[in-house]
C-alpha cells in the first residue's frame, strides 16, 4: 500500500532525486524546503514518514526533529535523518549518537550523497515494506 512521505530539505536536487526514488517505490511524496514549512506541512499532510535534512537555513534538522518529538500530534511519525555533514566537514553521526545528544533517536540516519539502494532499504525498514 502506498505511503505518504514528507521530504524536508532545502536542496532542490536532493529533493528531486529522493522524490524519484520514493515514487518508484510507489509512495506519495510531498516536500518542504525549510524547517518551519516542514512542520506546518507535517501537521496538514499527516505523513507516514518524514525524511529530514540536517543542514537547512532557519531551523536546522536537529531543531525540527526536537519539535517533532515534543509534539504529541507529531512524535509518533518516524523520521529518517538525511545529512551531508560527513562529506562537508568530515564528522559523522549515527542514530544512536543523535539519540544520546537529543534524548530521542531517529529511525534511521542516512548519509548524503543519497545512494538509492540505501534510501530504499531505510524506507522499507521504517515502513515495514
CATH of the domain at 84: 3.40.50.2300
Alpha carbons 102 and 65: distance in angstroms, whole number: 9
Between the CA of residue 92 and those of 37, 47, 98, 118, what are the distances in Å?
27, 27, 10, 16
- The domain containing residue 98 runs over which residues? 4-127
Q: What is the DSSP letter of 26?
A: T
When divided into structural domains, the chain yields a total of 1
How sure is the predictor about 110, in pLDDT bands with cuts at 50, 70 and 90? confident
Mean pLDDT of the chain: 87
Q: Which range among 36-40, 71-75, 86-90 shows the weakest confidence by mean pLDDT?
A: 86-90
Q: Please indicate whether residue 88 or residue 107 has the higher confidence score (pLDDT).
A: 107
* Angle, alpha carbons 78-41-85 (nearest 5°): 60
* 107: CB partners within 8 A, 6+ apart: 78, 79, 80, 95, 122, 125, 126
Amino acid at each position: 500500500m502506498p505511503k505518504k512521505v514528507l521530504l524536508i530539505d532545502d536542496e532542490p536536487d536532493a529533493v528531486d532525486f529522493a522524490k524519484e526514488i520514493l515514487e518508484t517505490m510507489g509512495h506519495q511524496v510531498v516536500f518542504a524546503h525549510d524547517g518551519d514549512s516542514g512542520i506546518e506541512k507535517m501537521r496538514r499532510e499527516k505523513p507516514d514518514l518524514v525524511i529530514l535534512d540536517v543542514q537547512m537555513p532557519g531551523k536546522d534538522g536537529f531543531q525540527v526533529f526536537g519539535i517533532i518529538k515534543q509534539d504529541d500530534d507529531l512524535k509518533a511519525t518516524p523520521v529518517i535523518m538525511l545529512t551531508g555533514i560527513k562529506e562537508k566537514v568530515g564528522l559523522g553521526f549515527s542514530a544512536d549518537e543523535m539519540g544520546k545528544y537529543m534524548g530521542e533517536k531517529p529511525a534511521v540516519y542516512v548519509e548524503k550523497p543519497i545512494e538509492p539502494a540505501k534510501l530504499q532499504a531505510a524506507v522499507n525498514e521504517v515502513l515495514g515494506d
